[in-house]
Chain A
Amino acid sequence: MVTLNVNGRSYRVDADPRTPLLYVLRNALKLNGAKFGCGLGQCGACTVMLDGEAIFSCLTPISAAAAGRIRTVEGLGSVERPGPLQAAFIAEQAAQCGYCIAGMIMRAQALLERTPAATEAQIRAHMEPNLCRCGTHMRILAAIRRAAAAMRDTPQQGDR
């Protein structure tokens, strides 16, 4: 048994400790946000946060995540009460197929929590690990800038 802290809740999971976090999030915890994209850490569709850092959940065994606080896109808000990044992605209509977007949001969340006044160059460099195939990049960047401005205007509680 491995105990995981996900979005502020504690879960006891009966799985091989080597199991990548992604499969436990998606199947045992029924969280859809993190996606399988490559299983190789090359695309970022599976990105979640572990203790404030963006990580590839497809490469991170649950044993390595057990000590930390895990956050997924479900932990940032809901359709009714979207978090600042989610609201910004909706406002900018920053999705086409949207499969990469939860990973994009989680990587951007890690940046904005640490560097709320991130420059355009910092945002682009930080987002480099995550791929989008639909070509929604311009809107994703616009959404991150919009969220950064909103978070600066209304300071958020840090890592919930």
Chain B
Amino acid sequence: MTAALPRPLTRRAMLAAGGAVAVGFSLSPAAFAVRPGKNGPKLPGDLGRAPMLDSWIRIGADGKVTVLTGKAELGQGIMTALIQVAAEELRVDPDRIVLVTADTALTPDEGYTSSSHSIEMSGVEIMNAAAQARDILIGLAAQRLGVAPERLTARDGRIFAPDGRSLAYGAVAAGQVLHRPAGPHSRLGDPKRFTVIGRSLPRIDIPAKVTGGISYVQDLRLDGMVHARLVRPPNYAARLVSVDTAPVDKMPGVLKVVHNGNYLAVIARGEYEAILAMRALSAAAKWDAPAVLPQEPDLYAVIKKLPRQDNVILHRQGPAGVPARTLQATYHRPYQIHGSIGPSCAVGLYQDGALTVWTDTQGVYPDRAAIAELLGMAEEKVRCIQMPGAGCYGHNGADDAGADAALLAREMPGRPVRVQWMREQEHLWEPYGPAMITEVRAALDTSGTIVDWHYEVWSNSHSTRPGGAANLMPAWYRENPVPGPVGVNIPQPAGGGDRNAIPLYRLPNARVVKHYIEKMPLRVSALRSLGAYMNVFSIESFVDELAQAAEEDPVKFRLRHLDDQRARDAVTRAAETFGWSPGARPPQGRGRGFAFARYKNLASYVAIAAEVAVEPAAGATRLIRAVAAVDCGQAVNPDGIRNQIEGGIVQSTSWTLYEAVQFSLREITTRDWNSYPILRFGAVPESVEVHIIDRPGQPFLGVGEAAQGPTAAAIANAVADATGVRMRDLPLDRARVRRALGF
């Protein structure tokens, strides 16, 4: 048989490969980006970021529809869901839509692809832009056909008159008819009659991914491309004492050794030549690495002693029963990694004073600004094109690799430079999910009702994204370094370290405090769900402790404290489909646990029931089965939602049972998958079930991060049920379980 040739299947890949952009619109959306509320009316969603309709929807004379989003495909399946939203309101077949994702030269500035916001934001914007575009086409067709617009119907890319005459979209869309500002109101379709939204359309990116297509920035192969590798310092504060680069310069294929301050890299013709040169350069580099890391056993004490800002995020006083019993508990979460399976990679091309970076950044516009600052270039001279990488789950090394590619491309004008990190560089240098501490104290009255609640959380920032050059790690190590990182204290209602720190339960008296710690002993940033993972783990573990104190079934206890009907529905559905029955005893060594949260208290409702098996002597804990109920408002692509929740459950199981970054005073010691084990197939659950509570007509609610916290708490509650021992420190790994059980 003949070898299958890799085929660029998407417009993204074509653009990435240097293809021309054949669209008849010259203005960059950013050129007329005005914010709503300044001069004009408030536009639906965040359309004000790019209020011209053709920033979002373009229709060619051939009827081909191009939809543009500033969001990035990260493996969460948003490309397919956004096409569905556009197809529904435009009334065209989804197959006729080409989607262009985040590219500073082509798409609107939608900030970061984060916070499970893509469908809530870009979905709403595209839906409204599509509805308005459809009505403009109908209006134009009305003139051409001499029929009142309300008597026309749009269907399958054509506009039909009652007498059977019709016009194709392409015929009316000639010229720049969509080059006009969006209006404040859209005539959205009736959710009861949706035919594309609500369908489990297969993801458009999967066929290429299973057949070796060009799917990732790692696969980008440009003419004349050369390969770079980096030599990183042994720790954050290390200084390069000396390096003899001359022998490396003479190695086969080596084009250039880059030595700038504490920044070391090598560029070679071939990838493996670059790796061999990197090893030689690494051996030649002599570093002074001071002791800068906290002593690990004292980590949480160290964190609590650091200077902090105290934010009281909830203070509520109201009539309540008399406290009869008070419980308190402290929970800990270690640093945990994103751990993308493919180390960070980017390609840079510096040519004629302009720079293009292909990167799997989550924010092409903020990243462009940071790279321009780092290189001292004008933003207009820098283009960032997002191409998917391996799943990132938040702010990993992608932006730094983009900066590496930019810096190294400038060393090699006219040649595309591909840089990829090695495995240990990814483990050592990505910004981790922050270590956190929570303390909770609550009082029950004699009826077992919560009458007082006091909660505190200590955490670093959960976002050190660029930002500026200070948040690009390579900037810290060059001559004239830009010191960083700089964290953001993300405010409520979304919150960072305090994300989901306010329970959804009825609490007549409550005080919730966020202790924001600016100084970062280890580099940290956004990891899927930010502080919600730890806060939901803590709150939902503690709610089980309260239920036990009240001698009540934990599901009943939750329902008795929940007023939000959608929350109650999610809890009830998960309990029913799991087969939860109060007082039921699983077999010896097994336990069941329950947990619930509404992500950010703003996005999807997720309730999870879990069954675990614990082997006390070995300390081995395994999730046997999990059942989740999810309410994410109007469901766009049910199978995509299930895929995200299933994945979230399995990933959070790995975080919860195995994962902690370890370090000595001088170096991080978890450098690969042996020293930082994650879940493997042998420990995968027997079943994971996801039930969607669809809410046609309700707003889309973000779903991608919503399972992380409930999974952790459901597992911890199940372990307590199985063993009778409450574990409050993550992860619930073998050593801790054995210790807790006295082995």
Residues of A within 8 A of B (CB): 6-9, 15-16, 19-20, 23, 26-27, 29-33, 35-40, 42-43, 45, 72-79, 82, 86, 89-90, 93, 95-102, 105, 124-125, 127-128, 130-139, 141, 160
Contacts and interface: CB of A to CB of B under 8 A. Distances in A.
Contacts of A131: 341, 673, 678, 680
B270 A39 contact: no
Contacts of B216: 32, 35, 99
B588 interface: no
B677 to A, nearest CB: 10
Contacts of A16: 252, 272
B643 A136 contact: yes
Task: Give the 7 A-B residue pairs with the shortest CB-CB distance, closest first.
Answer: A97-B75, A135-B650, A97-B391, A98-B209, A33-B212, A99-B390, A135-B647
Nearest to A9: B3
A136 B205 CA distance: 15
A101 B209 contact: yes
B649 interface: yes
Contacts of B203: 93, 95
B202 A93 contact: yes
Interface in B190-225: 202-203, 205-216, 218-219, 221
Contacts of B688: 138
B646 A139 contact: yes
Most interface-central of B340, B342, B649 (chain A CB within 10 A): B342
A73 B651 contact: no
Contacts of B647: 96, 134-136
Contacts of A77: 4, 211
Contact of A98 (B4, B75, B339, B340): B75
Contacts of B340: 99, 133
Nearest to A98: B209
B648 A135 contact: yes
Contacts of B682: 124-125, 128
Interface range on chain B: under 10, 10 to 19, 20 to 34, or 35 or more?
A: 35 or more
A152 B19 CA distance: 44
Interface string B454-492: 000000000000000000000000000000000000000
A33 to B, nearest CB: 4
Contacts, number: 206
Main secondary structure of the interface of B (DSSP, over half): loop
Residue from B1, B679, B681 whose CB has the most chain A CB atoms within 10 Å = B681
B139 interface: no
A38 B215 contact: no
B207 A79 contact: yes
B684 interface: yes
23 contacts: A15-B270, A20-B272, A23-B271, A31-B6, A32-B213, A32-B219, A35-B342, A39-B422, A40-B673, A43-B673, A75-B4, A77-B211, A86-B210, A93-B203, A95-B210, A96-B647, A125-B682, A131-B678, A133-B339, A133-B341, A134-B75, A136-B643, A160-B1
Nearest to A103: B341
B234 to A, nearest CB: 19
B554 interface: no
B211 A73 contact: yes
A6 B219 contact: no
A79 B208 contact: yes
Nearest to B205: A98
A80 B485 CA distance: 47
A39 to B, nearest CB: 6
Interface string B1-36: 111101101000000000000000000000000000
Contacts of B633: none
B223 to A, nearest CB: 12
SS class, residues of chain A in contact with chain B: loop
A101 B388 CA distance: 14
Nearest to B650: A135
A97 B207 CA distance: 12
Given A35-B341, A97-B391, 5 more contacts: A30-B6, A31-B3, A89-B206, A128-B682, A131-B678
A37 B206 CA distance: 19
B687 interface: yes
B672 A79 contact: no
A23 B270 contact: yes
Contacts of B674: 40, 42
B9 A141 contact: no
B649 A135 contact: yes
B639 interface: yes
A139 B643 contact: yes
Contact of A133 (B212, B213, B391): B391
A36 to B, nearest CB: 7
A93 B643 contact: yes
Contacts of B389: 97, 99
A134 B391 contact: yes
Given A31-B212, A90-B206, A99 B341 contact: yes
A36 B343 contact: yes
Nearest to A77: B211
A24 to B, nearest CB: 8
B639 A100 contact: no
Interface in B325-341: 339-341
Contact of A74 (B211, B650, B681): B211
B77 interface: yes
Given A36-B420, A128-B680, A134-B75, A42 B673 contact: yes
B390 A133 contact: yes
A91 to B, nearest CB: 8
B286 to A, nearest CB: 24
A74 B3 contact: yes
A118 to B, nearest CB: 13
B681 A127 contact: yes
B654 interface: yes
B393 interface: yes
Nearest to A140: B681
A138 B653 CA distance: 13
B76 A93 contact: no
Contacts of B202: 90, 93
A45 B219 CA distance: 14
Contacts of B506: none
B212 A102 contact: yes
B155 interface: no
Contacts of A31: 3, 6, 212
A37 B210 contact: no
B297 to A, nearest CB: 27
A105 B685 CA distance: 20
A132 B221 contact: no
B650 A79 contact: no
Nearest to B2: A9
Q: Which of B2, B3, B205, B209 has the most CB of A within 10 A?
A: B209
Contact of A32 (B6, B643, B652): B6
Contacts of B76: 96
B423 interface: yes
B74 interface: yes
Given A9-B3, A134-B75, A139-B646, A124 B684 contact: yes
A37 B341 contact: yes
Which residue, A86, A89, A134, has most C-beta atoms of chain B within 10 A? A134
A89 B208 CA distance: 11
Contact of A97 (B1, B74, B681): B74
Contacts of B208: 79
Contacts of B221: 27, 30
A95 B76 CA distance: 9
A139 to B, nearest CB: 7
Contacts of A75: 1, 3-4
Contacts of B341: 35, 37, 43, 45, 97, 99-100, 131-133
Contacts of B75: 95-99, 134
